[in-house]
Structure 1
C-alpha cells in the first residue's frame, strides 16, 4: 500500500498537479476569457482583470499556471518570460496579500492610474507592476534595470524609465500608444 501511495504521489508531481492555493492577482492583467498572457496585450475582445482579484491556483501545465478567477478556469501563460522558472513566475502573479490594501494608501492620482491600467510619473516599480503587469523577462532580465520595455500590442511598445531610487520619471512611447498608457 505504501508503495502504491508513493507511485500516486510521483504521478501527480510529474503532471504538475499541486494543492489548490488561494491568493490574489498581483496586477491588472488582460484575458480573452481563458488565457492571460504575460505580455498583457491590449487587444480587441480582451477584458481587464483588476489587481487584487481573488483567485485559486490549481496547478501547472506546459508554460502555464492554472487558475480559477470568478468561478472561471483560466491559464496565466508564461509566453515571454520563459527564462523565469514556472514556480517563480506563478509567485509573481499570484500573491498572498491583497494588493488593494496597499492601493488604498496611495495618492489618488496613482490609484486612478492603476485602476485604469495606466502609468504616471512618480510611481514606484511596485505601482507600475500593479498598473500594467510585470515586464516580460525575455526582454527585461533584471527588475533592477532603469528601463522596462512593455508591449501594448504586437506593434506598439513603450518604456517605463526609473531613476536611481526606483521612481518612474519618464514614459517613452509613440503618441498613439502614449495616450493609451499614460496619465499626465
Structure 2
C-alpha cells in the first residue's frame, strides 16, 4: 500500500494547512499605500529602523509611501516616488507585515501634528524631542525605538541611538508624556533636545 493510500486525509489536511499559511502570510505582508509615520533617515536607498544621524538626509513624517514588496528583513517601498528599502535590522521579532504597518500608517501624521503646540511642531520637524511631547509625537520625530531594546511601546523608557556609541533615553511619565531626556553625553543630549 502506498503512503498516499494509507494517509489520504493527513496529506489533504497538510496541503490545506500549507495553503492557509501561505494565504495568511501573503495577507500579513500585503502591499498597500499610506504615509511614513516618522522622520526617517536614508542613505539614498536604505532606511534602517535605528535611524542613525549618519544617513544622508531625512525623509519627513507624512511622506506618501507605496509598499511594493518584501525581502529578507526589508520592506520595498516607493516614498514620494523614490525607491527606498526600509530595513528591519533590530526588531526581527516583529512580523514583517506588522513592521510595515508600524512605519507606513493609514493617516497622514502631519494632520495630527498641526493640532500640537507650535514648539512641538518645530521639534518634530527638526527631529528632536522636548518635554511634554506624547509618545506619538516622539515616534513621529525620532522614529520608533528598536524592539530588542524597547520591547513594548508602553515602556516608561524608550532607548535610542544617534550612532553606534551615542545612546540616549526618552523617559515618559504616567500620563505618557516626556518628563526627561537622559544621556551620559551632555553634547548628545543637547543635540537631540529641542530648545
TM-score calculated relative to the size of structure 2: 0.84
User: Could you say which residue in structure 2 is the equivalent of 1:180?
Assistant: 191
Deviation at 1:70, TM superposition (A): 2.5
Deviation at 1:175, TM superposition (A): 1.3
User: Could you say which residue in structure 2 is the equivalent of 1:120?
Assistant: 130
User: Could you say which residue in structure 2 is the equivalent of 1:73?
Assistant: 83
Deviation at 1:126, TM superposition (A): 0.5
Structure 1 residue runs of 4 or more that deviate by more than 3 Å after TM superposition: 15-20
TM-score calculated relative to the size of structure 1: 0.88
1:36 aligns with 2:47: yes
Deviation at 1:16, TM superposition (A): 6.8
Which residue of 135, 158, 166 maps to 2:176?
A: 166
User: Could you say which residue in structure 1 is the equivalent of 2:160?
Assistant: 150
Q: What is the distance in 1 between the residues matched to 2:78 and 2:191?
A: 29
Alignment of 1:39-118 (within 5 A): 39-43=50-54, 45-118=55-128
Aligned pair count? 174
Q: Assess if the C-alpha contact under 8 Å between 2:34 and 2:107 holds in 1.
A: yes
Q: Alignment RMSD, CA only?
A: 2.1
User: Whose helix fraction is larger, Structure 1's or Structure 2's?
Assistant: 2
Q: Structure 1: give runs of 5+ residues left out of the alignment.
A: 1-8
User: Could you say which residue in structure 1 is the equivalent of 2:148?
Assistant: 138
